[in-house]
Amino acid sequence: MEIIQVVGLGLVATFLILVIKEQKPVFAFLLATFTGVVIFLSLVGKIADVIGLLTKLAQEARVNSTFLETVLKIIGIAYIAEFGAQVTRDAGQGSIASKIELAGKVLIMVMAIPIITMMIETVVEILPS
């Protein structure tokens, strides 16, 4: 039961953070970050399983592997940006958090450029010149 482990870890970390926060808010922040990372790392194996399933499906559907790679990169960017934004927001820097999210969105759009280019090329090719 992974979920019990995760919840137990989160509860323990929360208590410890509550204890430290009185004395040292910086340590509390680092502890929160550390706990979040540990929880995510414990879950990343499961996400890899799901992604393996997606890759198999995509190979079955004969989707261009570049597309799947792009989509997976977009998910990765979303995860990292989300992580960073939440950590900074926990630290009380809401503006930096929103900038990180903005960067994530922009990078996702950049990642989507090849697909959009291919779409436009397809449409142009289909249309009689």
Which residues of this chain interact with other proteins, rule CB under 8 A?
A: 5, 9, 12-13, 16-17, 19-20, 23-24, 26-28, 30-31, 33-35, 37-38, 40-42, 44-45, 47-48, 50-51, 53-54, 57-58, 60-63, 67-83, 101, 104-105, 108-109, 111-112, 115-116, 118-119, 122, 125-126
**Least CB distance from residue 32 to other proteins, whole Å?**
10
Calculate Rg over the CA atoms of the chain: 20
66-74 long-range contacts, Cβ below 8 Å, gap at least 24?
66/114, 67/115, 70/111, 70/112, 70/114, 70/115, 73/111, 74/108, 74/111, 74/112
Q: Residue 100: exposed, middle, or buried by beta-carbon count in 10 A (0-12, 13-18, 19+)?
A: buried
